[in-house]
Amino acid sequence: MKKFKGLAFFWKLLWVIGLIILSSLIFYLETQVRNYIDSTYIFSLIFWVNLMNSIILGIYISLIFVKKWSLNINPTLLWGVSFPCLFISIFIPIMCISQVKIEPFIN
């Protein structure tokens, strides 16, 4: 039993190290994108980067809660929670792009 607890502690410690590495990579990517935005004034790019960062970080954080790997999909949770949240997350960058392209024609 002690060997199993030590292995569980090792995996959690490895997960924390991975979280620190992933967070630093996300910070580096956001810094590079902000520098690119400062030079090109394409502001819609930051919304897409934030969306991808949120999805990747959410998937990584959810890995700590997996106790047994199986492919059992709960349809109610998928249709009631996952798809609406994904739609709302993608909706903001798409609206930002559409406003940027429509706005010059309004004036």
Q: What is the pLDDT of residue 94?
A: 77
The model's pTM is 0.67
End-to-end CA distance of the chain: 71
Residue 28, pLDDT score: 95
Q: What is the reported pLDDT for 79?
A: 84
Q: Which ranges of the chain have pLDDT less than 50?
A: none
Rounded to 5°, angle at Cα 23 from 19 and 25: 120
The pLDDT assigned to 27 comes to 93
d(CA 38, CA 104): 20
Q: What share of the chain is helix, strand, coil (3-state, %, to 5)?
A: 85, 0, 15
User: What per-residue confidence (pLDDT) applies to 31?
Assistant: 92
